[in-house]
């Protein structure tokens, strides 16, 4: 790197043109600043890399919250639902049909808001309802038929009933549910179609928590990658 020349008893050093000048060797103070700047640069780069994970998780949480606000909606046409025709015998009346088993909603569904809707066309001749409990005497047989009339279910109906005008809506919460249906006086209808609608959202509290976490992580990751102090300094010096 160096060539040492002797000239009139004096030692003289020359640097080859092909050699690289290292400031840390020739000027220690400049070299220290060089490595300090280098360490700062590496530190900034590492912070940007480390900000990727919280930024991604924050973005994902925000996306989940926005998706929940829109919700998931689906509709299904249920065909040929049997309706028990009303009997001309007043002692028999209009018997009610019931789903043979419970629709069980577990406690985990507290995290969700599930709205159910049922629409049917023959509202002047039939009705639908939702119950969560009923008398043992009204247990349906293998065909879903009961020996009870709507009057036996009145106190248990949570949505729908003969007074409903072709539609019912209710929010499904943890518990057991059954659907019931029946004809109205003078009706001879035996079956009909219905449209079952389901709309699902996250619970409002869960949405707020996820949204708050997402915003916190996303802002934190932004601060890690692009510190506001440095941005303000660049803006001030501009």
Sign of CA dihedral 134, 135, 136, 139: negative
Residues 6+ apart with CB under 8 A from 136: none
The answer to whether residue 152 is domain-embedded is yes
Q: How many domains does the chain have?
A: 1
201-to-11, 61, 77, 111, 208 alpha-carbon distances in Å:
85, 15, 22, 9, 12
pTM score of the predicted model: 0.69
pLDDT at 209 over 90: yes
Helix, strand, or coil (residue 5): strand
pLDDT at 1 over 50: no
| Biggest CA-to-CA distance, the chain | 139
Can you state the angle between helices 204-225 and 52-70, rounded to 10 degrees?
Answer: 150
Task: Please tell me the predicted confidence (pLDDT) of residue 32.
Answer: 55
CB of 157 closer than 8 Å to CB of 71: no
* Rounded-to-integer distance, Cα 134 and Cα 73, Å: 30
Residue 22 pLDDT level (bands cut at 50, 70, 90): very low
- Could you write out the DSSP letters of every residue in 115-176? EEEEEES-TTTEEEEEES---GGG---TTSEEEEEGGGTGGGEEEE-TTS-SEEEEEE-SEE
The answer to whether residue 48 is domain-embedded is no
pLDDT at 42 over 70: no
Q: What is the mean pLDDT of residues 220-225?
A: 82
Q: Which domain holds residue 90?
A: 84-189
Query: Using one digit for the tens of pLDDT, what is the confidence trace for 137-175?
Result: 899 988 888 888 888 999 999 999 888 888 999 999 999
- Could you write out the DSSP letters of every residue in 177-199? EEEEEEEPTT----EEEEEEEEE
Let me know how long the chain is. 238
The answer to whether residue 112 is domain-embedded is yes
Within 10 angstroms of residue 38's Cβ, the number of other Cβ atoms is 10
The answer to whether residue 14 is domain-embedded is no
Task: Please tell me the predicted confidence (pLDDT) of residue 237.
Answer: 65
Query: Using one digit for the tens of pLDDT, what is the confidence trace for 196-205?
Result: 999 999 999 9
The answer to whether residue 96 is domain-embedded is yes
């Amino acid at each position: 790197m160096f060539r040492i020349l002797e000239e009139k008893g004096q030692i003289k050093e020359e640097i080859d043109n092909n050699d690289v000048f290292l400031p840390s060797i020739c000027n220690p103070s400049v070299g220290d600043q060089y490595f300090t700047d280098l360490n700062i640069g590496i530190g900034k780069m590492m912070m940007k890399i480390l900000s990727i994970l919280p930024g991604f998780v924050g973005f994902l949480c925000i996306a989940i919250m926005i998706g929940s606000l829109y919700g998931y909606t689906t509709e299904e046409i249920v065909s040929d639902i049997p309706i028990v025709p009303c009997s001309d015998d007043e002692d028999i009346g209009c018997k009610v049909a019931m789903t043979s088993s419970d629709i069980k909603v577990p406690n985990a569904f507290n995290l969700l808001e599930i709205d159910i809707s049922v629409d049917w066309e023959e509202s002047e001749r039939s009705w639908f309802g939702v119950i969560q409990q009923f008398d043992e005497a009204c247990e349906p047989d293998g065909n879903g038929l009961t020996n009870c009339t709507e009057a036996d279910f009145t106190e248990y109906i949570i949505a729908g009933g003969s007074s409903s005008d072709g539609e019912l809506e209710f929010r499904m919460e943890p518990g057991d549910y059954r659907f019931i249906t029946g004809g109205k006086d003078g009706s001879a209808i035996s079956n009909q179609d219905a449209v079952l609608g389901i709309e699902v959202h996250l619970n409002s509290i869960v949405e707020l928590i996820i949204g708050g976490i997402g915003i916190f992580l996303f802002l934190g990751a932004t601060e890690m990658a692009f510190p506001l102090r440095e941005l303000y300094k660049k803006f001030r010096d501009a």
